[in-house]
Structure 1
Amino acid sequence: MGKEREESLKAAVLHMPGEAPRFEEFPEPTPEQGEVLVRVKAAPLTNLSKMRANGTPQFPVVCGVNGVGLLEDGTRVYCGGCRPPYGMMAERAIVSRSECIPVPDEIDDLTAAALPNAALASWLALVFRAQFQPGESVFILGATGVSGKLAILVARQLGAERVVAAGRNQAILATLTDLGADAVISLNQSDQTLTEMVANEAAHHPCDIILDFLWGHPAEVVMGALTRPAFQGEASRIRFVSIGEMAGSTASIPAAVLRSCGLEISGSGGGSIAREAIYDTFPQIFALAAQGKLRMDIDPVPLAEVENAWQSQDTPGRRLVFLP
């Protein structure tokens, strides 16, 4: 006799936008054409997960954009693309077959679930938006967050000659040279002092690429620090790539900044890079993780504790991952 199908599962279920999901029963999903059922092993709590959950047009909904699970044949995959109202923060999920990516045996479930989202942020920005070349220098604005810390490792693995990390969390800043940063700059100082430090760095070590996870006022100060006096010769090219907006969704940029230096501003995200290019990057990230060259700090939490964990303050520089 075949295995009897379950009628329900335990999941992180959100009933209203702005609330925290609750750990409760939810109807078992039935795969449709092109979909497969996965037994979820781990699912990360990311900003994207929260935004997607609160922005859904229907409730109740299961939270979780991506994660790691087992197919019916035992293959372990990183996956996402759940059809609403289903999500990855559940015992089981339905996902698009085309979005299942095999996970190397050398990577544990927690790392496999948490790493891709954070690593892709800087990898895609560097490779596809900034057209990074080995030997170039990278300035990371917002380097004390989860994705910012990982950006240091990504830049090094891609061949960056120099990496400068700027952020607010002093305790984490003190650890970033161990990750591979050549210099660190604290954002916890006056605009004048920060401007002087960034300008001094640019004068002695010209920067090729700025990866910005913050936007808002920090971006204004850093870009303003790049302003040069007129007629100082041709300015070197600086590619400023906006990845996040943790410090604000708007920034005021004086026109003089753009006229006085070789600043080029672009953004990196799901709307600016082809889907195929994104999925082609996963095997490269997993290969480096399997070698221990990409790593991150992770806090595992039972999915049953999702309501409290969802509302708690994030531990700086660490990713929370739910275990069903």
Structure 2
Amino acid sequence: MRAYQVHSPGTQAILAELRPPRPQAGQLGVRIGACGLNFADLLMQRGEYQDTPEAPFTLGMEIAGRVEDIGAGVSGVSVGDRVAVFGGSGGLAEYGVFDAARAVPVPDAMSDIDAAAMQIAYGTSHVALEHKARLQPGETLLVLGAAGGVGLTAVEIGKLMGATVIACARGPEKLQAAKAAGADHLIDAKTEDIREAVKALGGADVVYDPVGGDQFEAAFRACNPEARILIIGFASGDVPRIKANHMLVKNIDVLGFYWGGYLKFRPEVVTDSLAQIFAWYEAGKIKPHVSNVLPLERVEEGLELLRSRASTGKVVITPTP
């Protein structure tokens, strides 16, 4: 089988020919139809991600495909079933083995591409906004990086939860993608003062920040009392310093959030969330915005779209279309 492998941190990953692995007890062997790319893949390739496996390893965190083999002790799944799995790695390959406990049935109406695109992006936003930040109907949600893979889902889910959504992104094209996802107000991070623009709209009750850097600082200063700031990631490459005295004065909560971490200590938070997300999909309330679909031999092109922030939605690789 072909797999896109990292042989040592900081080096270029390569498309390698490997012997297909066999599932062990509690695992599924899956023929991978689609794998979503994430900014974490770039960090993992550099050895900078918090859950980077020991090299050599195959990149690719979230997949969808068809079960081809079942390890001992697995029940409730049959060969031929379609599943979506957050494996953490191993997805950029034609075949992979994954823990059966992480597999979620894929509805008949959902393509592999949509199923692969939904898990991290929608799961991150749903758990962050509902479970972590306790977003309430009528509150104002500010989404930074609102045209990225997770940013668009935060706009979409924020609207489903009854919030007024302010979308912040760079340039008119990206802002139009956020508007199409349901944003009520748009801020161009290239040309506008984020702090002043948000304050003119009444301030933010919840901030969803996958960007960091100067945008975090601007959003922090535009928060209302008792606001909650969700730290999702640092796509800007700049990890901001948090002024604890300002948190104290305005009673602001700054909340670190890592979706995949819940699989280690409260997996039901993730599985319950995915059940809700897939139900919304089946009801026609949400659909992932996939901006690029590429074959396995073009993985590096897909990663560059993330690296340069040139995508306007999810980038998905199809190892076995």
Range into which the TM-score falls when normalised by the shorter chain = 0.7 to 0.9
What is the CA distance between 1:144 and its match in structure 2? 2.1
Counterpart secondary structure, 2:204: coil
Q: Which of 154, 157, 160 matches 1:151? A: 154
Counterpart secondary structure, 1:126: helix
What does residue 6 of structure 1 align with? none
Q: What is the distance in 1 between the residues matched to 2:311 and 2:242?
A: 29
Give yes or no for contact 1:45–1:321 (8 Å, CA) kept in 2.
Answer: yes
What does residue 318 of structure 1 align with? 313
Give yes or no for contact 1:163–1:183 (8 Å, CA) kept in 2.
Answer: yes
CA RMSD of the aligned region, Å? 2.4
Q: Which of 172, 175, 182 matches 2:174? A: 172
Counterpart secondary structure, 2:292: strand
What does residue 33 of structure 1 align with? 25
Equivalent positions of 1:72-91 (< 5 A) are 72=68, 73-81=79-87, 87-91=90-94
What is the CA distance between 1:53 and its match in structure 2? 4.5
What is the CA distance between 1:147 and its match in structure 2? 1.0
What does residue 74 of structure 2 align with? none
Q: What is the distance in 1 between the residues matched to 2:237 and 2:297?
A: 33
Give yes or no for contact 1:21–1:306 (8 Å, CA) kept in 2.
Answer: no
What does residue 247 of structure 2 align with? 258
What does residue 186 of structure 2 align with? 184
What is the CA distance between 1:54 and its match in structure 2? 4.2
Give yes or no for contact 2:204–2:222 (8 Å, CA) kept in 1.
Answer: no
- Output one character per residue of 1:227-247: Cα deviation in whole Å (capped at 9) or x when no partner: xxxxxxxx7421111111122
Alignment pair present for 1:241 and 2:230: yes
- Output one character per residue of 1:156-192: Cα deviation in whole Å (capped at 9) or x when no partner: 12222x11111223321134333211111122236xx
Q: Provide structure 1 residue ranges, at least 5 long, that are not aligned to the other structure.
A: 1-8, 227-234
Q: Which of 219, 223, 226 matches 1:222? A: 219
Counterpart secondary structure, 1:208: strand
What is the CA distance between 1:60 and its match in structure 2? 2.9
Give yes or no for contact 1:110–1:298 (8 Å, CA) kept in 2.
Answer: no
- Output one character per residue of 1:110-135: Cα deviation in whole Å (capped at 9) or x when no partner: 11101111112211111111112233
Counterpart secondary structure, 1:71: strand
Alignment pair present for 1:274 and 2:271: no
Q: Provide structure 2 residue ranges, at least 5 long, that are not aligned to the other structure.
A: 69-78
Give yes or no for contact 2:62–2:85 (8 Å, CA) kept in 1.
Answer: yes
What does residue 293 of structure 1 align with? 285
Alignment pair present for 1:142 and 2:145: yes
Q: What is the distance in 1 between the residues matched to 2:58 and 2:8?
A: 11
Give yes or no for contact 2:126–2:157 (8 Å, CA) kept in 1.
Answer: yes
Give yes or no for contact 2:92–2:317 (8 Å, CA) kept in 1.
Answer: yes
What is the CA distance between 1:98 and its match in structure 2? 0.8
What does residue 194 of structure 1 align with? 194
Q: What is the distance in 1 between the residues matched to 2:140 and 2:194?
A: 19
What does residue 132 of structure 2 align with? 129
What does residue 208 of structure 2 align with? 211
Q: What is the distance in 1 between the residues matched to 2:194 and 2:37?
A: 32
Name the TM-score, length of structure 2 as normaliser.
0.84
What is the CA distance between 1:314 and its match in structure 2? 5.1
- Judged with a 3 Å threshold, the aligned counterparts in structure 2 of structure 1 residues 254 and 10 are, in CA distance, closer, same or farther, namely closer
- Rg (Cα) greater in structure: 1
Give yes or no for contact 2:37–2:302 (8 Å, CA) kept in 1.
Answer: no
Counterpart secondary structure, 1:27: coil
Name the TM-score, length of structure 1 as normaliser.
0.83
What does residue 66 of structure 1 align with? 62
Give yes or no for contact 1:144–1:317 (8 Å, CA) kept in 2.
Answer: yes
Which of structure 1's runs of 4+ aligned residues deviate more than 6 A?
none
Quick one: percent identity of the two aligned structures? 30
Q: What is the distance in 2 between the residues matched to 1:310 and 1:251?
A: 24
What is the CA distance between 1:103 and its match in structure 2? 0.6
Amino acid at match of 1:41: G
Amino acid at match of 1:96: D
Q: What is the distance in 1 between the residues matched to 2:301 and 2:243?
A: 43
- Judged with a 3 Å threshold, the aligned counterparts in structure 2 of structure 1 residues 175 and 59 are, in CA distance, closer, same or farther, namely closer
Q: What is the distance in 1 between the residues matched to 2:171 and 2:233?
A: 17
